[in-house]
Structure formats: C-alpha cells, structure tokens
C-alpha cells in the first residue's frame, strides 16, 4: 500500500502512475492498452489525491505483494484486470467480504471513480494498482497466490493489425499458470464474438487448463458477475455476451 500521505495541490494523479511506472511502460513495445487522456471530475480528482494512500499500492518490480499482510484473515484472493470505473469490482467485493480483491487499471478517471466508491462504501477488502497488468503479474504477484482472475470486457482490438495487442496470448497464459493456485479459475467475459472465439481457442488448446463450460468453451453467466455498462451497451447494439471460465489443473 502507498505510504505517502502527501496531499499536494498540484499532484493530480497517484504516485503509482508516475516515475517508475512510466519508464516500465515505455520498455514494452506492445501493450494491451493505450493510455488515453480523459476528463477527470472533481470527485475523481479528490479521490486520487486523498484516498490513494488508503487503497492504492504503488508498482514496484522488486516488491512482491504479501497478501497475508495486506488482507489478513481473508479466505481467497481475487484479481480483476482492467476494472474500468470499478463498478463490478466494488459490487463483487461488497457482496463477498470474506475474500480480498485486487484491482488493476491504468486509466486515471476510472481509478478515481473506483477510489471514490471504495471510500463511500468503506470497503476494507480491496486494493488498487494503477499499472500494466502484465507487469504486475510478472513482478508483484507471488506464485500460486490467486484463487480467481477476472478479465471482463477487455479491449477486443478488433482491427486485424491490432490483434497483437490482445491480452489473451501465450505469455498471459504463462503468467496465469504462475500466479493462480492449483484449481484457481480464470473468468473472462466479452461482447465481441470473434474475441470470444479466440479466447476459447487459446484456453481450450492449453493442456494446463480445464474448460468449465460447454464444448465451445462458453459458460452461463455466474451470479456473482455484475452486469457492466459495457454489457448493457452491447445488448443495446444487439451483441451477445460470452462468459468463459477455465480452471488451472491440479497436476
């Protein structure tokens, strides 16, 4: 967790998205996201300035997380990659107080919005990291630490020349194998059929994972997953929504 109590009037973003983070991001030539400038509301700015020290964890390559220290007494450790504005993360954490939730997001307005919700709800089982999820998995999540990983509505990068940016790839699967406990579950959801098919193919052809869905790799939407604004938008546009759940094998 951030140990900085600084509340400088000219610091508009948490320390986790400055300095070391920016240098690390520049070292990776292909990423699954692009940091876009977005309007930050007064409430989001206030949350970034005042609530990051309570809920934020600064990225550090040489500092693996100690989940027992961060979340004493929690039954399970669950990670959401790309939590957007945090609505699903906050709702899941509020409904599951015995589990610990770690959320990763790089876009500052979304981080600010989530921080505001966490403070309003006085949740103490959530921490946030504002950094590239791949590098968080590489450097900060210990081996065998996670019970569940959520990847809800990631950027589909639908243009063919951008497919290389899709997060579900061989390296990502290697990181999941490292970070998930035996029996730990990856839960993905998307409203892009092409990406759903790619996700299913990637996971079904990997002998390290067990398909928890049907023959095509799709599962019914679990009750714990909130309906997101991306999902509602997709439904308005006539899109389907596909949930995919895969378990890391015990062997």
- For the question of residue 58 being annotated catalytic, the response is no
User: 72-84: string of b/e by CB count within 10 Å (b at 16+)?
Assistant: eebeebbbbbbbb
Q: What is the dihedral of CA 71, 103, 217, 198, to 10 degrees?
A: -150
CA dist list (Å): 3 to 43, 102, 107, 210, 215:
22, 17, 21, 40, 48
Instruction: Kindly name the residue from 10, 75, 87, 155 that is annotated as catalytic.
Output: 155
Task: Give the separation between CA 213 and CA 215, rounded to whole angstroms.
Answer: 7
The number of residues making up the chain comes to 251
Q: What is the dihedral of CA 83, 54, 63, 143, to 10 degrees?
A: -50
Write the Ramachandran bin of 153: left for phi over 0, alpha for psi from -120 to 50, otherwise beta.
left
CA 21-89-218 angle, 5° bins: 105
Residues carrying an active site annotation: 155
């Amino acid at each position: 967790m951030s140990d900085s109590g600084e509340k400088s009037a000219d610091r508009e973003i948490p320390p986790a998205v400055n300095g070391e983070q920016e240098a690390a991001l520049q070292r990776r030539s292909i990423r699954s996201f692009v940091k876009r400038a977005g309007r930050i509301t007064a409430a989001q700015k206030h949350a970034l300035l005042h609530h990051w020290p309570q809920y934020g964890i600064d990225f550090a390559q040489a500092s693996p997380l100690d989940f027992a220290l961060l979340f004493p007494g929690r039954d399970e450790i669950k990670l959401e990659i790309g939590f957007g504005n945090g609505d699903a993360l906050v709702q899941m954490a509020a409904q599951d107080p015995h589990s610990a939730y770690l959320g990763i997001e790089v876009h500052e307005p979304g981080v600010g919005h989530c921080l505001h919700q966490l403070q309003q709800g006085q949740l103490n089982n959530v921490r946030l990291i504002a950094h590239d999820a791949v590098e968080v998995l590489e450097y900060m999540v210990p081996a065998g630490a996670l019970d569940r990983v959520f990847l809800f509505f990631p950027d589909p990068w639908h243009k063919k020349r951008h497919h290389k940016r899709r997060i579900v790839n061989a390296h990502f699967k290697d990181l999941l194998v490292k970070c998930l406990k035996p029996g730990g579950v990856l839960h993905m959801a998307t409203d892009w059929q092409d990406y759903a098919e790619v996700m299913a193919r990637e996971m079904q052809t990997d002998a390290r994972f067990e398909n928890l869905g049907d023959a095509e790799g799709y599962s019914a939407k679990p009750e714990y997953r909130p309906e997101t604004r991306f999902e509602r938008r997709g439904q308005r546009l006539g899109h389907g929504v596909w949930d995919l759940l895969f378990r890391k094998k015990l062997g």
